[in-house]
Amino acid sequence: MTTPTDSPLDRPDAHGRGAEVWDVAVVGAGPAGATAARVAAASGARVVLLEKAALPRYKTCGGGLIGFSRDALPAGFDVPVRQRIDAISFTHDGRKERTRRDRNGDLLALVNRADFDHALAKAAVEAGAVLREGATVTGTAERGDLAVLTLADDMQVIARAVVGADGSASRISRYVGVSFGQVDLGLEAEIPVPPAVAAQWSGRLLIDWGPVPGSYGWVFPKGDTLTVGVIAARGAGNATRAYYRDFVARLGLSDYRPLSDSGHLTRCRTPDSPMARGRVLVAGDAAGLLEPWTREGISYALRSGRLAGEAAARMATAPDAKSVATASNRYREQVEELLGPEMAAGARLLAAFEKHPGFFHTSVTTLPMAWRAFAEFCKGRTTFATLLRSRAAHAALRAIS
């Protein structure tokens, strides 16, 4: 039988860190994890933020910040904007190009995710969180009233509450038992372009409604580079790769050598999926929180990260198991209230878009009301759930279904 002091749980590592008990351990320093860590630390909790990479790290992402993302950032946060967007060109499988502008500008702000995420992690550290880079979490367990994370180097991190914000390939989501419905594959490259090409894209992005059901492609300009990608349901891998190749070729970008070129899955939770188990919560992509149609996930990560940080801080001071469960249930209710209707509306839009992409293209490029609705969504002034409650949207969706 092992005595408590023989247990690896209680044995400090060479630096004396193994036996430390944190209030909150956050796994993953993306937007969800950095936000959870910042919020929990700001409320007085002792927080460790565990990130497997060294920051700044690359993340496959368009880096498009809609209004809800900008609104969810900490007060005074200096967003490292690469480009502000006031025009969107739309094509339908490369044809029928039409550009729409917003007179007041600022439809989206585009960031480089490496810079953006690094700045969010710094904000967490400024709030008091301790950042450990190169810390890959490989195991999750709970013993009594503590959660125990095992790292790749066999060290253990012990905390009263854990936030799993380790992205779409999350290990913590497996521990929690998150179930995913929609799974998509995104292919994307960062392509450096000469100044003359960059100038053509200044202040304007492109959205192409794609040939694979439910797919779309994008060009997000970031000054001297363009982020070019496509996304479609996983399972249509060959068609998605062909779409990506054709998209890059017809944009005339095939001859430029990408700085990076990668694929990444996105996943949406099922409505009944758990979001916590015991003292372990999940947030952002790890929880499958993502807008199903646009696959916008940064605002979901920031918003769920804030709620998870608050819930984890409450769990850390919870006097008993019942209070832990209360904090966990409240977290789930808050996330479902805030993001559930949005995900449901996005799923309805995706289902209609899969069948009739041409209808969406024609509406947004020729109907002022449809363009205004899209622009207002980008600016964070309305939500898809609100838009779908309108009589016009009801009629349109009924007509095409």
Ligand X SMILES: Cc1cc2nc3c(=O)[nH]c(=O)nc-3n(C[C@H](O)[C@H](O)[C@H](O)COP(=O)(O)OP(=O)(O)OC[C@H]3O[C@@H](n4cnc5c(N)ncnc54)[C@H](O)[C@@H]3O)c2cc1C
d(CA 323, CA 287): 22
Name which of 33, 12, 29, 107 is nearest 282 in CA terms. 33
Task: Please name the residues in contact with 121: beta carbons below 8 A apart, sequence gap of 6 or more.
Answer: 29, 34, 37, 49, 51, 55, 131
Q: Least distance in Å: CB of 392 to ligand X?
A: 26
Q: Least distance in Å: CB of 221 to ligand X?
A: 12
Q: Least distance in Å: CB of 294 to ligand X?
A: 8
d(CA 23, CA 32): 18
Compute the residue count for the chain: 401
Angle subtended by helix axes 298-316 and 31-42, to nearest 10: 40
Residue 223 or 356 with smaller CB distance to ligand X = 223
Q: Least distance in Å: CB of 65 to ligand X?
A: 7
State the residue for tokens 């207002």: 376
The residue whose Cβ lies closest to ligand X is 297
Q: Least distance in Å: CB of 384 to ligand X?
A: 14
Name which of 123, 120, 149 is nearest 137 in CA terms. 149
Residue 53 or 236 with smaller CB distance to ligand X = 53
d(CA 190, CA 224): 10
Q: Least distance in Å: CB of 30 to ligand X?
A: 2
State the residue for tokens 């933020």: 49
Residue 145 or 261 with smaller CB distance to ligand X = 261
Task: Provide the binding-site residues for ligand X, judged by CB under 6 A.
Answer: 27-33, 50-53, 57, 59-64, 136-137, 165-167, 171, 186, 188, 229, 231, 264, 266, 284-286, 290, 295-299, 301
- Tokens for 27, please give them: 């796994």
Q: Buried b vs exposed e over 299-314: b needs ≥16 C-beta within 10 Å?
A: bbbbbbbbbbbbbbbb
Q: Least distance in Å: CB of 1 to ligand X?
A: 32
Residue 308 or 313 with smaller CB distance to ligand X = 308
Residue 53 or 197 with smaller CB distance to ligand X = 53
d(CA 183, CA 292): 9
Residue 216 or 324 with smaller CB distance to ligand X = 216
Q: Least distance in Å: CB of 4 to ligand X?
A: 27
Is beta strand 146-151 parallel, antiparallel or unpaired with respect to 216-221?
A: unpaired
Residue 156 or 299 with smaller CB distance to ligand X = 299
Helices (H), 43-82: 67-71
Residue 240 or 266 with smaller CB distance to ligand X = 266
d(CA 278, CA 328): 8
State the residue for tokens 């060109």: 89
